Amino acid sequence: MNTKTRVLVSASSHQDTLKDALAALIEKGDIDAVFALGETKQKGRYCYSLITDPSLVRKTLPFHPVMPVQGARALSDMTITRSFDRPVAALLRPCEIRAFVENVKQSQGSLENIFIISCTCPGVIPASELHREDRSDVLANRTENIRKACRVCTEFIPGQQADMTVLIASDEPNDSTVIYLNTERSVEIASKLESPSLKTAPPLPELTSGILESRSKSLKDMIREIPAPEDGLQSLVSLFSACIGCRGCREACPLCSCILCDYETARTQHSPELIRTESKRKGSVRVPSGTIQFQLGRLMHISPVCTACGQCSDVCPADIPVADIFIRAAYLVQQSLDYTPGRDTDDTPPMATYIEKELLDITD
Amino acid sequence: MKTILTDFLRKALTSGSVTSVMVPSRGPESSFPWTLVTDVSALSQAEPVPPVMSIQGAKALASFTQSETEGKLLAVMRPCEARAAVELSKLKQVSLQNIIFLTMDCPGAVPLMEYRRDNDMETDITTPDTLRPLCRQCTEFTSTGDLCLAMHGGLNSVLPLTPEGQILLDSLGIKPESDTSAWKEWTASLRSEREAISVESTKSLKDAYSGLEGLIEVFSGCISCRSCRTVCPICYCRLCFIDMKDRRSPASEYLERSRSSGSARLMPDTLLFHIGRMAHMSLSCVSCGMCEDACPSDIPVGRLVSMVSAGTTAVFDYRAGSDPEDPLPLNTFRMEELHEYED
């Protein structure tokens, strides 16, 4: 069995290595564009861009620890009606790849002609921290400041869709940049690059077992803190009491792709008459109604496919730990459905699969 | 303020003059959800003027008043919320029939996120520097609706502003203070103070972000979460133009866009969305600041929309929310108008 994997090694930083390589690939015509992060005209604000000019590729910030928009959401937006007809390199975090794979399964995007470069992911900084004056300190001490969703993420090694994986998060610090070549086309692409040298290296899990161990522990701790079904509906009511109904969690979620959400339709919205009747019956009701209905509904729709990216918590203006709830629910739901979202485009989504005898342990 | 307003609500509900009351109440986890109350005992939780605006009152009201309410409903709201309700009635989202609005000398609200992260923030706010930026420059902080609780200039009295307000006061046997001159002086002086702040704020916004380049810069941190739109009381469409399916483009068009300038920003159409939203709602904007409160990217979107709104409403000599009988400018056909904007 082959225990060594082919890698590219470069003496410069991973950001410089990637920028040089990608700009060169555009110049040579091997790829047409790069999908990558960059800083906007405003300091501390970032965005994804689709870049065709090699000189602008050199201004990007590959794998900068931020996630302004979930990458899958942007890729889905571009490829939902027609896939790329020219090769494009996309720099994506593992949770973004997984979400995009789920998008593809739900006919919300296409992987065709997308060459994926990913990394062993150290996590990203919450958006609110980046708007602070002292953001450079925040960025410098990144491991302490990453999102809670990132701190409990155990899926930080990208799956088989990643053509290349940059070793960023690892147990031991690296002096050089190591890029794993996971696919035949990545080996072909790598052969076109001049400077970095081809070597072999141990498989990624061996270099990151320490991170996996500490993240697994954090995940277990977090799951214990979240309200459980036995805490009753009231615990959810309390948790979401401050919800202002901005639906930012839904809009930012890469998996919530409906054009019109079920909870914005006349079918699910409570009629004025019902609200007034309930007010008379109970003496007092919360208006607008449907806060918990929306959150539970989204939890039901998304938990089988949630990739635990944490965007929902990041955008919440009421500081509700939405992602914690989703991560816990997703963990349990995906376990009972024996489903790993984003693993393979050929895995059929559980909600689209009929199995006559299943889940007998949770039926009455 | 809390006690006077709550007592007033209690009295109105107990006497049967109104059959229900809409008021923010204290919820768990330092939250202040709106409640529709019919049982007077539930008013023990009432927080008529909470430190934050968690949901714009007009939006809460629109969720159950698209059809006419049976029996009188007394809605306690900030002035900007009552004005938004008037705009929503013109947009056929609220039926004003049978609703009595009780407003107050509004102390303003503190930014939602700051309050959520620091629950020790005084509930009885609010020194001017803790207020939300739009509250600091608000000139329409009082005298809206049918009744208004005046708390300054030596007053401590609910004043009637309309015949409906007067009828309710009469039925409760409340005689409003007749000498309001000192209070009026207070309003005039605060208004001129606020006007100066508003001029200053508009100037600094214009200096910082002028022209298309400026707009691109100020919205560069937008993550397209659309929270500004969802929390806006005036943006009521079920499906927004920007989300229409026929606006989608194939991947090749994104490549084309990118080739034209070397790079295409994602998500696309950020400015189209914000300018489109301004075009759709700026005439009815009540400068409540909800959009700015909800923005996770800290964009001064409320101040920008409010500034644009000052310009567009001036063109039509329209004041959002002031008179339910004033027709919406965009729904009014005039053969001769706006010649100065023609080529």
Query: Residue A274, Cβ neighbours under 10 Å: how many?
Result: 13
- Secondary structure (DSSP) of B189-225: HHHHHHHHHHHHHHHHHHHHS-HHHHHHHHTTT----
d(CA B2, CA B15): 20
Indicate if the pLDDT at residue B153 is higher than 50: yes
Residue A196's pLDDT is: 67
Indicate if the pLDDT at residue A3 is higher than 70: no
Task: Quote the ipTM score.
Answer: 0.94
- Contact criterion met (CB < 8 Å) for A242 and B29: yes
Average pLDDT, chain B: 94
d(CA A193, CA A21): 7
Facing residue for A280 by CB, picked from B38, B251, B268: B38
Asked if omega into B332 is within 30° of 0 (cis), the reply is no
Tokens in use for B64? 């159950």
Q: Which of residues 285-314 of A touch B (CB under 8 A)?
A: 285-289, 291, 314
The closest alpha carbon to A179, from A272, B92, B274, A189, belongs to A189
Residue B207's pLDDT is: 94
Facing residue for A50 by CB, picked from B28, B65, B258: B258
Q: How confident is the model at residue A194 (pLDDT cuts 50, 70, 90)?
A: confident
- Contact criterion met (CB < 8 Å) for B36 and A275: yes
What would the pLDDT profile of A277-298 be if each residue is shown by its tens digit?
999 999 999 999 999 999 999 9
pLDDT > 70: percent of chain A: 97
Q: Which of residues 183-212 of B touch A (CB under 8 A)?
A: none
Strand pairing category for A33-39 and A5-10: unpaired
The closest alpha carbon to B59, from B336, B320, B226, B288, belongs to B288
Facing residue for A317 by CB, picked from B34, B35, B293: B293
How far is B120 from chain A, CA to nearest CA, in Å? 15
- Contact criterion met (CB < 8 Å) for B55 and A244: yes
Contacts of A192 (CB under 8 A, 6+ apart): A24, A25, A28, A30
What pTM value is reported for the model?
0.95
Facing residue for A41 by CB, picked from B27, B220, B250: B220
Contacts of B24 (CB under 8 A, 6+ apart): B32, B33, B34, B35, B46, B47, B48, B49, B50, B54, B76
> A38: nearest CA in chain B?
B265
d(CA B51, CA A110): 47
User: What residues pair up with B76 in beta bridges, in sequence order?
Assistant: B102
Average pLDDT, chain A: 93
Q: How confident is the model at residue A353 (pLDDT cuts 50, 70, 90)?
A: confident
Q: How confident is the model at residue B126 (pLDDT cuts 50, 70, 90)?
A: low
The alpha helices in chain A, defined as continuous H runs, are 14-27, 54-57, 71-79, 94-105, 127-130, 135-140, 142-145, 148-151, 184-191, 204-207, 209-225, 233-239, 248-252, 272-282, 291-302, 311-315, 322-337
Asked if omega into B267 is within 30° of 0 (cis), the reply is yes
**Amino acid letter at B147?**
L
Q: What's the average model confidence in pLDDT over B161-168?
A: 97
Compute φ and ψ for A96, nearest 5 degrees: -75, -40
How far is B320 from chain A, CA to nearest CA, in Å? 23
A332 CB near a chain B CB, below 8 Å?
no
How far is B241 from chain A, CA to nearest CA, in Å? 11
- In chain A, what residues touch B221 (CB-CB under 8 Å)? 40, 42, 44-47, 68
**Amino acid letter at B54?**
S
Cα→Cα distances A257→A251, A313, A343, B182, B230, Å: 8, 18, 19, 57, 17
Query: Residue A83, Cβ neighbours under 10 Å: how many?
Result: 18
A40 CB near a chain B CB, below 8 Å?
yes
**Amino acid letter at A352?**
A
- Contact criterion met (CB < 8 Å) for B35 and A287: yes
How far is B52 from chain A, CA to nearest CA, in Å? 11
- Secondary structure (DSSP) of A201-230: E--HHHHSHHHHHHHHHHHHHHHHHS--GG
Q: Which of residues 128-157 of A touch B (CB under 8 A)?
A: 128, 131
Q: How many CB pairs under 8 A join A and B?
A: 230
d(CA B155, CA A231): 48
d(CA A279, CA A214): 49
The alpha helices in chain B, defined as continuous H runs, are 2-15, 57-62, 79-90, 112-117, 133-136, 163-171, 181-208, 211-218, 227-231, 251-261, 270-281, 290-294, 301-316
- Contact criterion met (CB < 8 Å) for B216 and A81: no
Q: Which of residues 260-279 of B touch A (CB under 8 A)?
A: 262-268
- Contact criterion met (CB < 8 Å) for A53 and B262: yes
What would the pLDDT profile of A134-151 be if each residue is shown by its tens digit?
777 777 777 788 999 999
Chain center to CA of A145: 17
Q: What's the average model confidence in pLDDT over B279-308?
A: 97
Residue A1's pLDDT is: 41
d(CA B64, CA B14): 22
Residue B245's pLDDT is: 87
Strand pairing category for A114-119 and A177-181: unpaired
Q: What's the average model confidence in pLDDT over B193-198?
A: 96
